[in-house]
């Protein structure tokens, strides 16, 4: 009986098992998210108000005066020590670190990150760090998923799914945004769009969102008044705002990594950098107290147009300086909320300027702020769909979707034109790690074996002798394109494959029957399988050719598939793409080189 690839199912029992663990993971992540919020509140109350309370408060109302500069510095020192003697992986905003583990380490994250990351984030944010809580919660959920995956007997893909499920659950529990949580997992962690990974992630995010309703209620995270339908000119101007915010997102990304490069040049251990960066946080907090902490209330005020443009200008600029220096120093904290505040401020200012220049366009400053927020995240992170859906989910304003789609796409376009890497990938790209930017269907999946296989096959009967086979080969010299020859029974059942080299070996006698030269179970492929399955089958068995069988009983030999046949089919697909899209052509050429390396 020939070895044939096992028929794979899109969803099977293992998917159900991973889904069950993901649902449990979603519940745990929701509890961790709630715990982290209270932990941040506890640190904030202790550091700025000298009281023991887990209430989530802002540091802006503290009465410490100049002493308030010392509070972030103390927090930075604690985070530096935790990173030095606990794990350096707690540095940064979490998502790039998770991406790196997915791409290079089979989604294995050390167990200690599960508690070190939220604890360090609580200290950094609670002592005034201008970060959002979402990044550490996402990183913590991902670490927990990875830890569970390492305790189970599962493969790297399934462990990646659990990591992504934990990360998505963390985001969903923070903002009540399950759909955008699934999208960010797809765009930044999974690097694929498959039912076997999307189902567990979606159910984990849904579970976390459901539990969040128990803790926080079902209202939007950032409520705003009902919006009106926008005019055509206004929609065009929101696209312009998105493009301009896209320019700003490029500048912000470059600024963060320029500051990080400056810290790299300091003649001291990186353990001290968070404390140095925290000095800027403290000074900025004296200038604009609302720049301290997560700033979720600031997002709400922008979305309700409660702040004067002059106030937005000051707070937005100070928040940018404070956040970029703190993040560049390598402390622990998230990027989504700061980017939303910076982008919202920029969008508000642009909306105000456009309203002054073109009053007839009737620009809504609330929508301008929302578009600015989402467009900043879309341009900096290049998570386009996440940005659009997330801005909708946190406000529950359906009439914002069209302005958001136009503005975020414009920002996304500008980002790709002007910046090689995103704020999420620059750090790991510098370490030589290639992060996928595009996801497309594998061309080999779209071609069946029957379309590529050679039909004119030289085969031999199992009871024929070596001498007869040699005579047959000499008479057909130059008329066959493969070097392996199927050997079959009289009924047509495949016995094995014999190579030309074996037939011509001098120690093999003329009288030897071909069936006696078969040393292994035949490895074959069905004609209705895909070339992807055939290529994987070749790699698994270290072969360069496969007999092609029908699914009739007994399976009959209908052809031969070689590596050259696969490459020829692939080459034809490339030529078709060349006539339509040179960009796709370049990506296919790179993909072809990879597949050649795999099969050689």
How many CB atoms sit inside 10 A of residue 434's CB?
Answer: 9
* Degrees to nearest 5, angle at CA 184 with 95 and 92: 15
Are the folds of 13-216 and 232-429 the same? yes
What CATH fold (topology level) applies to the domain 232-429? Clc chloride channel (1.10.3080)
Tell which residue, 491, 505, 503, has the closest CA to residue 461. Answer: 491
Digit-coded pLDDT (tens) for 399-415: 999 999 999 999 999 99
What secondary structure letter does DSSP report for 462?
Answer: T
Digit-coded pLDDT (tens) for 81-90: 998 998 887 8
pLDDT of residue 365: 93
Q: Which CATH number fits domain 443-568: 1.10.10.60, 1.10.357.10, 3.10.580.10, 3.90.1150.10?
A: 3.10.580.10
The mean per-residue pLDDT over the stretch 22-32 comes to 94
Beta bridge partners of 487: 460, 496
Domain residue extents for the chain: 13-216, 232-429, 443-568
Q: Which residue has the higher pLDDT, 6 or 155?
A: 155
3-state secondary structure of 491: coil
pLDDT of residue 590: 57
Digit-coded pLDDT (tens) for 364-387: 999 999 999 999 999 999 999 999
pLDDT of residue 299: 93
The mean per-residue pLDDT over the stretch 567-593 comes to 64
pLDDT of residue 553: 65
The strand order across the sheet containing 484-488 reads: 460-461, 484-488, 494-499
What CATH fold (topology level) applies to the domain 13-216? Clc chloride channel (1.10.3080)
Phi/psi at 32 (nearest 5 deg)? -65, -40
Residues in the chain: 600
Tell which residue, 375, 383, 391, has the closest CA to residue 425. Answer: 383
pLDDT of residue 579: 60
Calpha distance 163→291 (Å, rounded): 32
Tokens of 121: 């984030």
pLDDT of residue 347: 95
> DSSP states of 64-100 as a string?
-GGGGGHHHHHHHHHHHHHHHHT-GGGSB-SHHHHHH
How many CB atoms sit inside 10 A of residue 225's CB?
Answer: 10
Query: What secondary structure, in 3-state letters, does 505-519 show?
Result: CCCCCCCCEHHHHCC
Residue 481 has pLDDT above 70, yes or no: no
Percent of the chain with pLDDT over 90: 50
The mean per-residue pLDDT over the stretch 322-338 comes to 88
pLDDT interval class at 480 (50, 70, 90): low
Determine which of 61-65, 250-254, 389-393 has the lowest per-residue pLDDT on average: 61-65
Tokens of 378: 């879309």
First-to-final CA distance of the chain: 27
Calpha distance 304→60 (Å, rounded): 20
The mean per-residue pLDDT over the stretch 216-233 comes to 89
Beta bridge partners of 525: 548
3-state secondary structure of 437: coil
pLDDT interval class at 238 (50, 70, 90): very high
- Per the prediction, the chain carries an average pLDDT of 87
The mean per-residue pLDDT over the stretch 561-579 comes to 79
Determine which of 132-136, 189-193, 564-568 has the lowest per-residue pLDDT on average: 132-136
pLDDT of residue 177: 93
Residue 577 has pLDDT above 70, yes or no: no
pLDDT of residue 588: 52
């Amino acid at each position: 009986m020939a070895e044939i690839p096992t028929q794979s199912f899109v969803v099977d029992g293992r998917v159900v098992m991973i889904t069950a663990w993901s649902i449990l993971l979603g519940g745990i992540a929701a509890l961790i998210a709630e715990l982290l919020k209270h932990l941040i509140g506890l640190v904030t109350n202790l550091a700025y108000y000298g009281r023991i309370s887990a209430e989530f408060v802002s540091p802006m109302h503290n009465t410490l005066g100049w002493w308030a500069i010392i509070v972030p510095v103390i927090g930075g020192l604690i985070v530096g020590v935790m990173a030095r003697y606990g794990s350096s992986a707690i540095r940064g905003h979490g998502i790039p670190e998770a991406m790196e583990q997915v791409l290079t380490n089979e989604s294995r994250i050390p167990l200690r990150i599960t508690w070190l990351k939220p604890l360090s984030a609580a200290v950094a944010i609670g002592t005034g760090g201008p970060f959002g809580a979402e990044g550490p919660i996402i990183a913590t959920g991902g670490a927990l998923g990875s830890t569970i995956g390492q305790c189970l007997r599962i493969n790297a893909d399934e462990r990646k799914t659990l990591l992504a499920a934990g990360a998505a659950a963390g985001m969903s529990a923070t903002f009540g945004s399950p759909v955008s949580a699934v999208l960010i997992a797809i765009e930044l962690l999974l690097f694929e769009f498959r039912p076997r990974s999307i189902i567990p992630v979606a159910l984990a995010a849904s579970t976390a969102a459901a539990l969040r309703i128990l803790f926080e209620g079902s209202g939007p995270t950032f409520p705003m008044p009902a919006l009106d339908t926008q005019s055509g000119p206004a929609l065009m101007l929101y696209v312009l705002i998105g493009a301009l915010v896209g320019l700003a997102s490029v500048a912000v990304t470059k600024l963060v990594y320029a500051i990080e490069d400056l810290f790299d040049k300091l003649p001291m251990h990186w353990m001290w950098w968070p404390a140095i960066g925290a000095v800027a946080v403290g000074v900025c907090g004296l200038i604009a107290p609302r720049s301290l902490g997560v700033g979720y209330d600031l997002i709400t005020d922008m979305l309700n147009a409660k702040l004067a443009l002059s106030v937005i200008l000051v707070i937005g600029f100070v928040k940018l300086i404070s956040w970029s220096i703190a993040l560049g120093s390598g402390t622990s904290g998230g990027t989504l909320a700061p980017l939303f505040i910076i982008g919202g401020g920029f969008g508000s200012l642009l909306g105000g300027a456009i309203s002054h220049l073109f009053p007839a366009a009737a620009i809504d400053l609330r929508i301008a702020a929302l578009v600015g927020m989402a467009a900043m995240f879309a341009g900096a992170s290049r998570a386009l769909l996440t940005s659009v859906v997330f801005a909708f989910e946190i406000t529950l304003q359906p009439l914002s979707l069209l302005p958001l789609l136009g503005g975020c796409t414009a920002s996304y376009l500008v980002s790709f034109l002007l910046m090689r890497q995103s704020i999420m990938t620059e750090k790991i790209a510098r370490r030589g790690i290639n992060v996928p930017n595009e996801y497309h269907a594998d061309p080999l999946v779209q071609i069946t074996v029957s379309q590529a296989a050679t039909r004119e096959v030289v085969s031999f009967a199992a009871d024929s002798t070596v001498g007869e086979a040699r005579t047959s080969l000499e008479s057909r010299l130059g008329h066959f394109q493969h070097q392996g020859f199927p050997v079959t029974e009289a009924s047509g059942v495949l016995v094995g494959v014999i190579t030309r080299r074996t037939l011509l070996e001098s120690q093999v006698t003329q009288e030897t029957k071909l069936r006696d030269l078969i040393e292994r179970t035949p490895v074959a492929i069905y004609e209705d399988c895909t070339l992807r399955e055939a290529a994987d089958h070749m790699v698994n068995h270290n072969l360069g050719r496969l007999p092609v069988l029908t699914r009739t009983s007994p399976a009959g030999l209908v052809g031969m598939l070689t590596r050259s046949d696969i490459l020829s089919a692939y080459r034809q697909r490339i030529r078709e793409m060349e006539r339509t899209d040179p960009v796709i052509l370049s990506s296919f050429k790179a993909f072809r080189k990879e597949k050649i390396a795999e099969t050689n």
